[in-house]
Amino acid sequence: MFVLKIIHLLIAISVIVGVLLQSGKSAGMSGVIDGGASQFLGNKSKGLDEKLSKFTTVAAVVFMVTSLILAII
């Protein structure tokens, strides 16, 4: 059970890091200006954003599963 708690803690930290590394929705005036430029020139970081999104989703699902297992134990 101690090992499961350590795994749970590491997954929680990875979810936090994954969420913080993702780019925001670019709200505000700078987002309006930058959004038009990136739309015109093409978004180069789209692949990284997709990988971070998938990583965060998988980490969140694993976090929920470990939470349920710890709650049942």
> Is residue 28 predicted with pLDDT exceeding 50?
no
Who contacts 30 (Cβ-Cβ below 8 Å, separation ≥6)?
none
> Is residue 43 predicted with pLDDT exceeding 90?
no
Mind listing the pLDDT tens digit for each residue in 2-22? 999 999 999 999 999 999 998
- The reported pLDDT for the residue numbered 8 is 97
Task: Kindly report whether the global pTM for this prediction surpasses the value 0.75.
Answer: no
Give the chain's count of helices (H) and strands (E). 3, 0
Amino acid at 27: A
